[in-house]
Structure 1
Amino acid sequence: MEAAEDVVIVGAGLAGLAVALGLHRKGVRSLVLESSPSLRASGFAFTTWTNAFRALDALGVGDKIRRQHQQALRVMASSTGEIVQEVDLTQQGKRGPNEIRCVRRDLLLQALEEELPRGAIRYSSRIVSIEEEDGNGDKVLQLTDGSVIRAKVLVGCDGVNSVVAKWLGLATPSYSGRSAARGFARYPDGHGFEPKFLQFVGHGFRSGMLPCNDTDIYWFFTWTPSENDKGVDESAAKMKQFVLAKLRGSNKVPAEALAAIDRSEMSDVLAAPLRFRSPLSLATASIARGSACVAGDALHPMTPDLGQGGCSALEDGVVLARCLGDALLPPPGSGSGSGRGKEDRVQAALREYAWIRRWRSVELVATSYTVGFVQQSDSAVVSFLRDRLLSGVLARRLLKMADYDCGTLESY
């Protein structure tokens, strides 16, 4: 069986659904191919900063997500557990008020999916191969079920192991030397935690905990694995005990925080290696070639130390939908509605998208890696500088990276 589509998006994660919804808002139909049988919400939740909410507002779902999640303060702690820097997010940034919420990934994916027309997502659809036809540049996608789809435009939003990124020739993401565990604690009668982001750094790890709403608490733990850590990810019980032992060793982690980890559920992947795409390779990578491009983790996998992985994926979605939508639906009377003129506009639009997102991606990946190194280090010198001098600098850097506006879905 063979079908033809104007725009095919690979992956129904944050980036893929953001691109699809952005195009829908612009009046452009797309087809999203998702390899799993339903929406996947791995990782439970993610820190959602001001820049992400600007993207969600552009997509028309920002207020819905705000109603479901608490506004939080960010609290940075040293390795001793003492607060060294607290940032009041009611203060104004250069582009308006700051905003941070811990957003449940399932609720956000559902909100994006619900705004799409029926049939926009095709589940259980995994790509086996990609070929490009000579002459018209169509992408021929072979799927595991034997079906074939011809796409005029191909957008890879298929994660860190992206098939589309590999086809474009992007460098394989590098292992950072660190791993991460994540958990989610539910308190049906209310957890009683203040709406703050608690963070514990040093001693060779970085950990954070923050409420999504009145009943849900999300936490993460990143560390550098050693030979002694083998087997800690064999079960959720072992993983939790490993995390608890590390946190107890830092002496000052509050008892209620430890209790939340102890009662939490964990994702199917108990511990995952943290990978990133080298900023140097991103500076010259083929983000877009012809009528194909990548977005989200397929473009800029990064360590989670800025909390910007999901946020930047939403930015990608809005920018790409605006560029591509304007190319596919030119203003009335402008001509070149089909054929070579349309193909040229699409390629120019993807080049514009690549230019906008390349340097933002380079900065995010490089800053995230650096922040993670400083915060997680157990070096006495780095710890002293971090706790005494760098805490304020890091806090301001986090807010600066979040004070970014990807724009609306209207043409500039």
Structure 2
Amino acid sequence: MAGGEAAGAVAASVDAEVVLAGGGIAGLATALALRRAGVARDVVVLERHAELRATGAALTIFPNGWFALHALGVAHKLTSRYDAYETSKVTNLESGATQFFRFAGNKACSEGVKLRPIDRKALLQALAEELPPGTIRFSSKLVSIDTEPAAAAGSSETAVVRLEDGTVIRAKVLIGCDGVHSVVARWLGMSEPASSGRSAVRGLSVFPDGHGLKRELRQFLSEGLRAGMVPISDIEIYWFLVNNTVPAGKPPPARSHAVSNQLQNIRKKASNFKFTEKEAAGDPIKTLREVTENLANHMPEEYLDVVRHSDHNNLSWAPLLYRNPLSLLIGHQAAHGAVTVAGDAFHPMTPDMAQGGCSALEDAIVLARALARAATPAEGIAAYVAERRWRVAWMVAGAYLSGWVQQGGTNVTGVRGYMVKLFRDWIFYRFVFPRLADTMWFNCGDLTPHKEGKDHTE
């Protein structure tokens, strides 16, 4: 595959200009951005898996993501393959009410920046194809990080990266793009991701003869559950189910007496798992049984039919984690000299505003541009963190609050729960979410190759 090769036999010690830990969206986009901006020629991407990952099955790219992909020069490879959509339909199964809203709000959109759901692996391949062969080192798991004085006088420290196979890589710049449980973020001393109190099952369903569904996001709300589905092509549909996490051995809390007996039975089923999340995660058969026979068995048949067509290789069930946005604002751990983080390693967030992948693409552009303009890597990384922390803190907070409200107040009961749902049904979808969507039209800017021989790695 273009842009990568298996680790195979490796030298005991390797020198590199820039090392990126993680070959997901953040890692590949940042590697490409660094090359486009002319910051470094020798970029190494460490991917612990044997091939490009596709965890999450699909994602929606909002305008801010398309602006970044245009800057990277790969947008055209994806817009020609995936159709755009502009509307969402939300049905409350308790009341039977359905609401429609537009993601664009009052924004005028060109064809190139409309919302498009795309296959995650297609995005990774589009980025990887632009990288020179050998850039991605597959089956390369990062296990530890250290620093040592740089050989050149006046230079910053050198990052010493050790891999599971014993390889040692010395890098002038280290960027952690290694996900929510980032080794690099932990080394930097960043706070551990926190639980949102919710988990999500996500899958990709295939209809070889076509599904015939309209290009829009459909969502269904129930007590402690939120389900959704959106076509990404004529034969593929991305679907998800978000459930309130129920601690093992703890019965669900009592609910308002105003709810009908039928709904109380539904809630009881939703919290009385046939399999625990830990048991079902990683086992597609158990996961699908839990969704179709228990958690979502009261969902509309059209949704259940989509779930039953799931590709077992693109199915996941995992807790939704996020980093405290306050720690992103006041903490200074996101950078240490020429070491920093990007994407989920920097700002893990819940998927409720579909900004995980888009924000990672923004990071790539801003980081490469900051490094290109700075006199030293440490100065560039400091500038990148200073520029990004306010926006990403807002995105993490907005995503968490959006999911909490849409869920009807995660694990909130009684009068408070009733008020949250009232706010959701009458105010949030009509007035708040369209404004949140408007903030997703942020343009991170272009990549301008640096000049005057300012190569930080020479």
Q: Fold match, TM over 0.5?
A: yes
Q: Which residue of 1 aligns with 2:261?
A: none
Q: Distance in 1 between matches of 2:213 and 2:378?
A: 50
CA distances 1:115-161 after superposition (whole Å, capped 9, x unpaired): 11111111111122111113540011111111111100000000011
How is 1:43-82 mapped onto 2 (pairs within 5 angstroms)? Answer: 43-80=56-93, 82=97
| Percent of residue pairs identical | 41
For the 8 Å contact 1:90–1:97, the answer to whether it is kept is: no
1:7 corresponds to: 18
Q: Distance in 1 between matches of 2:169 and 2:33?
A: 22
Q: Does structure 2 retain, via aligned residues, the 8 Å contact 1:78–1:387?
A: no
- Which of 273, 278, 283 matches 2:324? 278
Q: Measured at CA, do residues 268 and 73 of structure 1 come closer, stay the same or move farther in structure 2, by a change above 3 Å?
A: closer
CA, structure 1 residues 8+301, in 2 after alignment: closer, same or farther (shift >3 Å)?
same
User: Could you say what secondary structure the match of 2:56 adopts?
Assistant: coil
Structure 1 residues 246 and 318: CA distance shift in structure 2, 3 A? same
C-alpha displacement of 1:84: 1.5
What is the rounded CA distance, in whole Å, between the counterparts of 2:84 and 2:141 in structure 1? 37
How far off its partner does 1:299 sit? 0.3
Q: Is the 8 A contact 1:79 1:203 kept in 2?
A: no
Contact preservation (8 Å) 1:305, 1:369: yes
Question: Does the CA-based 8 Å contact 1:184-1:219 persist in structure 2?
Answer: yes
* 1:71-126 superposed Cα distances (whole Å, 9 cap, x missing partner): 01231414235331321649634999862111100101000000111111111111
Structure 2 counterpart SS, 1:369: helix
Match of 1:224 in 2: 244
Structure 2 length-normalised TM: 0.81
Q: How many aligned positions are there?
A: 393
Query: What is the distance in 1 between the residues matched to 2:177 and 2:443?
Result: 21
Q: How far apart, CA to CA, are the structure 1 residues paired with 2:307 and 2:130?
A: 34
Q: In the alignment, is residue 320 of structure 1 matched against residue 367 of structure 2? A: yes
State the TM-score, normalizing by the size of structure 1.
Answer: 0.90
- Asked if structure 2 preserves the Cα contact closer than 8 Å seen for 1:306 and 1:368, the reply is yes
Q: Which amino acid aligns with 1:164?
A: V
Q: Is the 8 A contact 1:93 1:403 kept in 2?
A: no
One of 429, 432, 446 as aligned partner of 1:391: 429
Q: Contact 2:204–2:315 (CA<8 Å) still a contact in 1?
A: no
Alignment of 1:143-158 (within 5 A): 143-158=163-178
Q: How far is 1:24 from its partner? A: 1.4
Does the C-alpha gap of structure 1 residues 264 and 5 become closer, same or farther in structure 2, counting only changes over 3 Å? same
- 1:84 paired to 2:99: yes
Q: Which amino acid aligns with 1:299?
A: F
Kept in 2: contact 1:182–1:267 (CA 8 A): no
1:3-38 superposed Cα distances (whole Å, 9 cap, x missing partner): 111111110100000000111112322111111111
Stretch of structure 1 that moved more, 205-214 or 71-80: 71-80
**Offset, 1:215:** 1.1
Confirm or deny: 8 A CA contact 2:200 2:243 kept in the other structure.
Answer: yes
* Alignment RMSD (CA, Å): 2.2
- For residues 303 and 392 of structure 2, the distance between their equivalents in structure 1, rounded to whole angstroms, comes to 33
Shift of 1:248: 4.4
Is the 2:60–2:115 contact (alpha carbons within 8 Å) kept by the matching residues of 1?
Answer: yes
The residue that corresponds to 2:400 in the other structure is 369
Distance 1:73 1:94, change over 3 A: closer
Most deviating of 315-324 and 12-21: 315-324
In 2: Cα distance, 1:4 partner to 1:320 partner = 22
How far apart, in 2, do the equivalents of 1:91 and 1:132 lie?
50
1:162 to 2:188 alignment? no
List gaps (5 residues or longer) in structure 1: 328-341
Shift in Å at residue 411 of structure 1? 6.7
Matched, 1:264 2:310: yes
Amino acid at match of 1:361: V
Of the candidates 400, 404, 409, which is equivalent to residue 442 of structure 2? 404
**Conserved? CA contact 2:203–2:315, under 8 Å:** no
How far the C-alpha of 1:183 sits from its partner, in A, is 1.1
Q: Structure 2 unaligned runs (5+)?
A: 1-11, 151-155, 249-271, 410-416, 451-458
Partners of 2:83 and 2:404 lie apart in 1 by 29
Contact 2:105 2:437 in 1 (8 A): no
1:106 aligned to which of 121, 130, 140? 121
